[in-house]
Structure 1
Amino acid sequence: MPLFTLVGLILGLVFHFFLKSGVVSHWIWFTTLIIGGLPIAFQTLRGMLKGRFASDIVAMLAILTAIIMNEAFAGAVVVLMQSGGEALEKYGLRRASSSLEALLARAPRFAFRKHQDTLEWIDVKEVKVGDTLMVRPGDLIPVDGIIMSGEAEIDESMLTGEPLARSKQTGDSVFSGSIDVNGAFEMRANKTSAESQYQKIVDLVTKAQEGKAPIERLADRYAIFFTPLTLLMSLLGFLITQEPTTILAVLVVATPCPLILATPLAILCGINRAAKTSIIVKGGAALEQVGSIKAAVFDKTGTITFGTPFVEEIIPLTCLSQIPGVTHISQEELLTVAAALEQLSVHSIAKAVVEKANTPLPIPTNFMETPGSGVEGNLGSKHYTIGSHAFLTKKLTANCFKHCEQAIKTYEKRGKLLIFIAENELCIGILLISDQIRPNVPSLIQDLKALGVQEVVMLTGDNTQNAASIARQAGIETVKADLLPEQKVEVIRSLEITHHPTAMIGDGINDAPALASATVGVAMGAHGSAISAEAADIVFLADDLAKLKEILLISKRTIHIAKESILIGIGLSFALMCIAAFGLIEPAIGALLQEVIDVAVILNALRV
């Protein structure tokens, strides 16, 4: 519509000034006014019937008055600026998200059902409670259930956000959407596909996106007093001059194009500025709201932390000195032993151990790996076993820990993942595995508080002890641990009541419902999941949490300039209304003067 109106105005000017045909130019302008203006008028009327009294009312009145009074050129100029402003606003506020499609595309689709002595490949929707299913390495677990036989290492990061795969044995629960990293097992379905954990995430995202209320346009907040003022000035002008054209002149100079143009132009400039710093903002509403957030909610793994296993501490057991004939092992020697065996494993923790050693390693013999539990092998004449407490107990009996039980209990209380190393049949040391906090997080938390954020919260599916440790390092006081995706959404909804607007910052599929539920969802897009990036309103392309401070500052500057432009436009329009009320401005001249105001507003908005 803006393009059609612009062409009509230019064509009319050609006939009027170059071809000296006033009649033709008038009919071109009048046709443009009717075709372009009536849809705007009807749209505004529909909004009024629904109780929405916005800044567009003055423009509607100016268009209708121009039609009635046959002031085609002035009316067409109003149509151009009104339709152009709306088109610009729709472009700036558009949000393209395919998060639900991405979630559904990744959902489990098939299952191996055990029927008598054979396996049948069925649609996951056909799985019934009580069915026996076979899950192979690499498979998505189709529905929630319990392992009946076998053991495996399960990657639940898409559900919990935690990067470390979990060892599962007979009797343990498994959830749809998680991945069997290695080890085949049989499971009993406890829920159907529609009732399972992954479907809950899809449903949560659906409800969250449908439940988001549309943001009130910044221009409409000022229209509350500007529109009645314009109508009052129009009436006053008519009483002073007794000329109907005075009403149109006042309406034309008061057409709220500055109100309509100021915000979307500033927003688009702000979005462009953010893009230059590797921040993608999907819509104007997100940019407008993020600068005024009262609560910032962070996911732990992959957001506050890097989301990869890290050898935090190497602990030779000093209690070994009490055992006759056993020599103490140094930290370097302990790490070398562990890395030598782990170099033959593909487990994420094994990679972290090898990276920590960062040295040429001897090659073990008789190497064996039990998926999800541990490894064992020989270095020279000594046999080493490395893995979880349960793995070493199973392989070597509980006697391997007997000499250092008290020391081991002390380390277990820290809530970290412990990897035990045994030489022959004696535990000689521990590797403490954790997730490393991003170095700039503590300063970011302080900066957020200085920028007006009242509440900072960390959410995680990790255990309470580990979560509390990370939160202390980050300087975050409020921590919610052991959370499922739906529980994260509940926390967000609670904060929306007490600290609106809120921002949720996350990176995993399990964060998608919370990202969609918050006023503004922010995704770590560099290494995060594509689904979380789709569900979010803002995406950081760089793996840098400090971008949060940058986008808050860009938002605050953008809205400051938008408000400044609105006030400049209102001030100039009011001055012209006062002049027009005394009959000193013709409608056509008023439309051109309004264009001058629009240019001033545009130039000011470009300062973002």
Structure 2
Amino acid sequence: MAVRGVGLRYPVIAVTVLILIVVLVLHAADSARVGRWIATAYVAVFVVWTLVGMVRDVLRGHVGLDVLAVVAMVATLAVGEYVASLIIVLMLSGGEALEDFAGRRAQRDLTALLDRSPRIAHVVVHPHAPDVDEFQDVAVDDVVPGDVLLVRPAEVVPVDGVLLSDVASFDESSLTGESMPVTRTAGGEVLSGAVNGTRAVRVRAIRRSADSQYQQIVALVRQAQTSRAPVVRLADRFAVPFTAVSLVLAGAAWALSGDATRFAEVLVLATPCPLLIAAPVAFLGGLSRAAKAGVIMKGGVVLEGLARVRSACFDKTGTLTQGRPDLVDVRPAAGFDADELLRLAASAEQYSAHVLADGIRRAARARGLELEPAEEAGEVATNGVTAVITGRTVVVGKPAYIAALVPGMDPVAVDAGQAVAYVAVDGRFAGALVLADAARPEAAGVIGWLRGHGVERMVMLTGDALPTAEAIAAQVGIDEVHAELLPPEKVHLAAQLRPRPTLMVGDGVNDAPVLAASDIGIAMGAQGATAAGDAADAVIVVDSLSPVVDAVAIGRHTLTVALTAIWIGIGLSVALMVVAMTGVIPAVAGALVQELVDLTTILYALRALRGPAARLTPRRPAAQPVPAEPVTPR
């Protein structure tokens, strides 16, 4: 646009209005010549300012539509329509003011995230004295893992942490979209950005500010706000043909009428605000709507890519599945009770960080079994864990590891791909625990929606065993499966996939390369790795696959709105120029009418804030869950 600095836009409007009033007063006082010289001098300065900006743009390789505005202002001055030239200046600077207003409206949900970002944390001075709440205020960036923080009622949790208080209620709507408060008990993880309830609580920090959930979302929002959508460049590409058509129409009007004034009357209706304002407003609206749906995108380029996506790749574990294997069967050996087996195994698994260990512990707690502390414990990497529980030596691990301790142990028969944790107690085989990771309940609906809305090819790319991958794929409706892949192989397959553009959805560190290499990468960020979020183009901040559908639907709606707004501006401008060729629209009236065209396109572009909801029709999953791991749990 002609005026480029937010700080200058409104002063330019004020000065232009003041000069316009002075010129009109002088005209009414029979001092039109003085008014003309004042208007000419002011508009000339404005033209020079615009030309300087145009030269800078050309040097950056960007040719815009300001040339039309310059020609229109010069033409109106040349034929004595100096009031019209002032209105063009007012229209250009006022158009940017309208863009600012519309942009703030479109970014409201994004800006709300930034405004709520915590900046101060209350670090407890005496963390081992539960009844003493003496604290010191520090910048949130200075909090280190291990610090005990006091979170007052209605305050935002500053960093990710573990709850130390017995019980607390948190509003996590800004993170998960869940409107109802959630209850956390001692030992539960509390994410930064959650709003504390009515009681002051203590939290032990487990991550630095930059690594915490809410701050990562904020960083993505800042990146999204500074990006420039490709459709804006597409609008720029309309510049040459639109400029050419406008000049041809204006020249034809002059040639046919023999009146140079007709040239100016046509050109005042060709000012470029609709093209320059509509697209960015629409894309800001789309980014804001996506954020509200739980998807933070790194810019408008992601929206256009999602709108055009024709192939989709999915990781399996943690993406199409929950990523939380659940216990589906307890198979005790002779001489052992099922509850006793599970209690001993879960007590030993307290000292393991393996994903299956978490499932075993959760199952024991769900059955009301009390876990015992270990007298001593240790974990053998990739094999299992050993612990002495109430004087008994309990070993939980993979079949080969347990078989080495218990010669002659027969393997347990399980369904294809199920994960099994074998248990030995005091040198005897005690039984097996069978776990499974079910497909996400919404996964089949997401695949079905994408297939029914123009995404032609669905592919699973996973490092898991083929039988497990095929079972999950059958549940969710994916026909093409590539299993047992290393990260470089995932990248290669994604690069070869046709038709394009290609969407990739994943969650772990091993997905980061393929997320970065795909046309559009979406990371499951609610529980996923930071590396995946950094590499992706968009991050889903709720623990669900459904926002993938929302993201594609919002991208398509936003692109449609942006292009439609551009064509509305072009269509109205060309139609009005044709009418102006007959001489029925004076230059001053034409300049005022063009402002209405600007307003129309901006209001239409704001439709990107609203749109039809994407409705899933979930398929009923198979009766039995299918695990995420092959036959070895470690």
Q: Please report the TM-score for the alignment, with normalisation by the length of structure 1.
A: 0.67
**Aligned partners of 1:276 and 1:25: how far apart in 2?**
50
Q: 1:352 aligns with which of 343, 349, 359?
A: 359
Instruction: Render the CA deviation track for 1:456-495: whole Å, top value 9, x for unaligned.
Output: 2222333333333332332222233333433333233223
**Aligned partners of 1:215 and 1:508: how far apart in 2?**
31
Contact 2:283 2:558 (8 Å CA) reproduced: yes
Indicate how the Cα distance of structure 1 residues 55 and 538 shifts in structure 2: closer, same or farther if over 3 A, else same: farther
Query: Equivalences for 1:569-588 in 2 at 5 Å?
Result: 569-588=569-588
Task: Report how many residues are paired.
Answer: 470
Instruction: Tell me by how many angstroms 1:420 deviates.
Output: 0.9
**Aligned partners of 1:544 and 1:493: how far apart in 2?**
26
**Aligned partners of 2:403 and 2:397: how far apart in 1?**
10
Contact 2:20 2:86 (8 Å CA) reproduced: no
Kindly indicate whether residue 409 of structure 2 is the aligned counterpart of residue 394 of structure 1.
Answer: no
**Aligned partners of 1:370 and 1:46: how far apart in 2?**
62
Task: Give the AA of the match of 2:511.
Answer: D
Q: 2:370 aligns with which of 351, 355, 361?
A: 361
Kindly indicate whether residue 321 of structure 2 is the aligned counterpart of residue 311 of structure 1.
Answer: no
Q: 1:385 aligns with which of 395, 398, 422?
A: 395
**Aligned partners of 2:288 and 2:97: how far apart in 1?**
19
Instruction: Tell me by how many angstroms 1:392 deviates.
Output: 1.7
Instruction: Render the CA deviation track for 1:196-232: whole Å, top value 9, x for unaligned.
Output: xxxxxxxxxxxxxxxx996673424655754443233
Q: 1:29 aligns with which of 42, 61, 65?
A: 42
Instruction: Render the CA deviation track for 1:250-273: whole Å, top value 9, x for unaligned.
Output: 222122322222222222222222
Unaligned runs of 5+ in 2: 28-33, 111-227, 609-634
Contact 2:460 2:478 (8 Å CA) reproduced: yes
Indicate how the Cα distance of structure 1 residues 333 and 60 shifts in structure 2: closer, same or farther if over 3 A, else same: farther
Instruction: Tell me by how many angstroms 1:414 deviates.
Output: 2.9
Indicate how the Cα distance of structure 1 residues 347 and 523 shifts in structure 2: closer, same or farther if over 3 A, else same: closer
Residue 255 of structure 1 aligns with which residue? 271
Indicate how the Cα distance of structure 1 residues 422 and 563 shifts in structure 2: closer, same or farther if over 3 A, else same: same
**Aligned partners of 2:256 and 2:394: how far apart in 1?**
101
Contact 1:66 1:75 (8 Å CA) reproduced: no
**Aligned partners of 2:569 and 2:517: how far apart in 1?**
36
SS of 1:560's equivalent?
Answer: helix
**Aligned partners of 1:577 and 1:314: how far apart in 2?**
76
CA RMSD of aligned residues (A): 3.8
Query: Equivalences for 1:486-497 in 2 at 5 Å?
Result: 486-495=488-497
Residue 114 of structure 1 aligns with which residue? none
Contact 2:99 2:602 (8 Å CA) reproduced: no
Kindly indicate whether residue 267 of structure 2 is the aligned counterpart of residue 265 of structure 1.
Answer: no
Instruction: Render the CA deviation track for 1:16-56: whole Å, top value 9, x for unaligned.
Output: 24677625641463244224320344356558xx6x77656
SS of 1:291's equivalent?
Answer: helix
SS of 1:437's equivalent?
Answer: coil
Instruction: Tell me by how many angstroms 1:69 deviates.
Output: 6.1
Q: 2:464 aligns with which of 462, 465, 476?
A: 462
Contact 2:327 2:363 (8 Å CA) reproduced: no
**Aligned partners of 1:43 and 1:90: how far apart in 2?**
24
**Aligned partners of 1:344 and 1:512: how far apart in 2?**
29
**Aligned partners of 2:496 and 2:70: how far apart in 1?**
41
Q: 2:291 aligns with which of 275, 278, 283?
A: 275
- Percent identity (aligned): 32
SS of 1:306's equivalent?
Answer: coil
**Aligned partners of 1:63 and 1:8: how far apart in 2?**
17
Instruction: Render the CA deviation track for 1:428-479: whole Å, top value 9, x for unaligned.
Output: 4222344443221111111111222112222233333333333233222223
Task: Give the AA of the match of 1:476.
Answer: I
Instruction: Tell me by how many angstroms 1:597 deviates.
Output: 0.7
Contact 1:275 1:281 (8 Å CA) reproduced: yes
Contact 2:348 2:374 (8 Å CA) reproduced: no
**Aligned partners of 2:59 and 2:531: how far apart in 1?**
36
Residue 257 of structure 2 aligns with which residue? 241
Instruction: Tell me by how many angstroms 1:240 deviates.
Output: 1.4
Q: 1:341 aligns with which of 338, 348, 358?
A: 348
Residue 434 of structure 2 aligns with which residue? 432
Residue 154 of structure 2 aligns with which residue? none
**Aligned partners of 2:593 and 2:229: how far apart in 1?**
37
Task: Give the AA of the match of 1:479.
Answer: V
Instruction: Tell me by how many angstroms 1:374 deviates.
Output: 2.6
Task: Give the AA of the match of 2:276.
Answer: I
Residue 600 of structure 1 aligns with which residue? 600
Residue 552 of structure 1 aligns with which residue? 552
Instruction: Tell me by how many angstroms 1:598 deviates.
Output: 0.7
Indicate how the Cα distance of structure 1 residues 30 and 346 shifts in structure 2: closer, same or farther if over 3 A, else same: closer
Task: Give the AA of the match of 1:429.
Answer: G
